[in-house]
Structure 1
Amino acid sequence: MNDDELYSIGELARRTGVSVKTIRFYSDRGLVPPTDRSPAGYRRYDLAAVARLDLIRTLRELGLDLTTVRRVLDHEIALSDVAAAHAEALTVQIRTLRLRRAILTAVSERGSTPEELNLMHRLARLSEAERDRLIGDFLDTVFGDDPEFAAIRRTLTAELPDHPTTVQLKAWVELAELSQDLGFRSAVRQMAEDYQAGRGPRRVPLRPGLVARIREQVGPAVRAGIDPRSPEADAVLRSLTADYAAAVGAADDDHLRARLAELLQTANDPRWAQYLTLLATINGWAAPEPLAPIYDWTIEALRRAG
């Protein structure tokens, strides 16, 4: 081989931008062995060593460890396989970093107690599977394994997309934090129990059609500005309670009205409205209709009538 085609270690460093110290390190470990040595014993490298060093530098900058780099150089594993594996690993890292950024943004915007910060830090360190289990644990606590709630569980499950926005990430952090609130869990569990068929004498259950009935019958009255304590409200309330009593097979009496007021008071928990709003944001759904004004109107009218 012509000496003009060989590079000293210093020339190789200048050509590749890799330090002499690093080249010597790679050379000593057999990653970039010298092509030849000068009569004085100095290492010399050819163009193949230049290409090999360029590849090593690229792989290292992409985060591959030296063991993997050696296996690629020795053709023990395909570079395409390594690239695919590391691309997936980087995807996971990016998701984690975006989640951590969302948490830091939330902290900076609202401020947090040390306890809240510790919780959010723990949430940020969860893997995707662990995040799913976190929400699953909340739903298990609230609904148990009752098959009657299978469909409802699915609609209440938060699923971050593969490429969530910052808004979705922040919403997930808030929802996960909310799901750990024992008071909130207890309130939702109460709603689940109210949803089921009545148990005990004269127990009035909260059936699926109730919210739809209230929205259809009370919504127009709220939008029209009708006072729930006015005579005009009586006709709306009578229609609502008569339809509901027939639907659940109960008498349209003071007990039913008192029970409905109690059920709606539980369902009107602002934390539940927050959960549904956050859930819609995370899953990319349309924002739910605010029901608090309708619930407030109905509760006041029911209690006045009772």
Structure 2
Amino acid sequence: MSADGIWSIGELAERAGVTVKTVRFYSDRGLLPEAGRSAGGHRRYGPEALARLRMIRSLRTLDLPVPDVGRVLDSEDALENAIAAQLRELGSQLAALRWREAALQLLRDCTPEERPERLLLVGAMTTPPDTAPMARFWRRWLPARLPARLVSAILERAVPDPPADPEPADVLAFARMHALVSAPCTGDGRHQPEVHRPDGDYRPAVLYEGLIEAFALATPDLRARRTPHEGEALDAFVDAHARASGTHDTPAFRRRLSSLLATEPRIDRYWQLKAELSGPSAEPTPGAAHDWLHAALDGHSAREAAA
């Protein structure tokens, strides 16, 4: 240090334990103030530059980008925001690593015959998995005239949240679900079940509002593993379909509805995978409730026909 307390770039680098190239890099980006220049045009730094350089190194150790470092040095409030952003980024990276680990365990522990198929399934999915394809699948399948609030309520139940700490089985279920919803639909392009597409003044919002109520009423029976039976839940289920079609719950309507509620293989498979992801202790899925009520309706229609 010279008599006036000013360092050369080499002296500052030596005191800070960095290279001259590092000091020059931060100086060129305006992060390290210069005290002036020598007669020969060489950079000179005061003692405050050493403290600032040490702060820069500490912030960079936390992987803060250089622009964020500049904002933190200029404002104390920026440090809290930068730390929060880094924590979010680190959380995303850790989640991706956990999903990659579970995927590798899945591939390691399967049989050689299973491995090629599972590798293709896992390779087609991001880690963590993106749930946007599931949401698009449901938006295509639901009636076009359904109010946004009902669509949101249905998507909340239908689209699974990726587990923060997945097991290999979760990876497989998500990969199979991703493949299911990403596969092209075949046929005439009319993917909704027939009860979604009747003629006249059909009201899909009335149907789905009623179905939500009917599924809630059936949930205790599903949890208790009771055999499908007549009762309040079935009445609400049939009434939802009747009111949506502008008619009434009659024996004739029940017989017709029972024949209209054909099995939807893709939807059934989707709900099966959703149940695998949720685990045995989770609430029954709407798909399970629908199947239970459909079976109850079929049983009721069969008894009516035999009477």
Could you say which TM-score interval applies, normalised by the shorter chain? 0.5 to 0.7
> How far, CA to CA, are the matches of 1:118 and 1:263 in structure 2?
36
Counterpart of 1:116, as a letter, is: L
> How far, CA to CA, are the matches of 1:27 and 1:239 in structure 2?
76
> How far, CA to CA, are the matches of 2:276 and 2:31 in structure 1?
55
1:51-130 counterparts in 2 under 5 A?
51-66=51-66, 69=69, 75=74, 78=75, 80-81=77-78, 84=81, 86-87=82-83, 89-111=85-107, 113=118, 115-121=120-126
* 1:181-229 CA-partner distances (Å, limit 9, x unpaired): 4469x9x9535x5367x659xxxx9962665676678987x648xxx9x
State the 1:35 CA deviation: 4.6
Match of 1:260 among 258, 262, 268: 258
Counterpart of 2:90, as a letter, is: I
State the 1:143 CA deviation: 1.8
> How far, CA to CA, are the matches of 2:217 and 2:69 in structure 1?
66
Q: Kindly tell me: are residues 125 and 58 of structure 1, through their superposed partners in 2, closer, same or farther at Cα, counting changes over 3 Å?
A: farther
Supply the RMSD in Å over aligned alpha carbons. 5.6
Q: Kindly tell me: are residues 29 and 139 of structure 1, through their superposed partners in 2, closer, same or farther at Cα, counting changes over 3 Å?
A: closer
1:22 aligns with 2:22: yes
Match of 1:190 among 189, 192, 210: 192
Q: Which consecutive unaligned segments of at least 5 residues does structure 1 have?
A: 229-235
* 1:218-262 CA-partner distances (Å, limit 9, x unpaired): 987x648xxx9xxxxxxx569998997788435536x94585266
Percentage identity across paired residues of the two chains: 24
* 1:104-141 CA-partner distances (Å, limit 9, x unpaired): 244224346454344313x7596xxxx55x45423321
1:180 aligns with 2:182: yes
> How far, CA to CA, are the matches of 1:57 and 1:262 in structure 2?
69
Moved more, 169-178 or 7-16: 169-178
Match of 1:288 among 284, 297, 300: 284
* 2:203 alignment partner in structure 1: none
Conserved? CA contact 1:59–1:69, under 8 Å: yes
1:202-241 counterparts in 2 under 5 A?
208=211, 211=215, 223=226
Conserved? CA contact 1:261–1:299, under 8 Å: no
* 2:139 alignment partner in structure 1: 140
> How far, CA to CA, are the matches of 2:70 and 2:220 in structure 1?
69
Q: Kindly tell me: are residues 49 and 173 of structure 1, through their superposed partners in 2, closer, same or farther at Cα, counting changes over 3 Å?
A: farther
**Aligned residue pairs, count:** 271
> How far, CA to CA, are the matches of 2:44 and 2:220 in structure 1?
85
> How far, CA to CA, are the matches of 1:159 and 1:211 in structure 2?
18
> How far, CA to CA, are the matches of 1:182 and 1:40 in structure 2?
71
Conserved? CA contact 1:245–1:252, under 8 Å: no
State the 1:275 CA deviation: 3.1
State the 1:276 CA deviation: 6.1
* 2:150 alignment partner in structure 1: 151
> How far, CA to CA, are the matches of 2:232 and 2:31 in structure 1?
84
Counterpart of 1:107, as a letter, is: A
TM-score, normalised with respect to structure 2: 0.56
Q: Kindly tell me: are residues 140 and 199 of structure 1, through their superposed partners in 2, closer, same or farther at Cα, counting changes over 3 Å?
A: same
Conserved? CA contact 2:6–2:46, under 8 Å: yes
Conserved? CA contact 1:217–1:240, under 8 Å: no
State the 1:53 CA deviation: 0.9
State the 1:272 CA deviation: 1.9
Q: Kindly tell me: are residues 210 and 263 of structure 1, through their superposed partners in 2, closer, same or farther at Cα, counting changes over 3 Å?
A: farther
> How far, CA to CA, are the matches of 1:36 and 1:16 in structure 2?
19
> How far, CA to CA, are the matches of 2:86 and 2:155 in structure 1?
30
Instruction: Provide the secondary structure at the position in 1 that maps to 2:100.
Output: helix
Higher helix share: 1
Counterpart of 2:125, as a letter, is: M
> How far, CA to CA, are the matches of 1:277 and 1:21 in structure 2?
56
Counterpart of 1:274, as a letter, is: L
Conserved? CA contact 1:219–1:294, under 8 Å: no
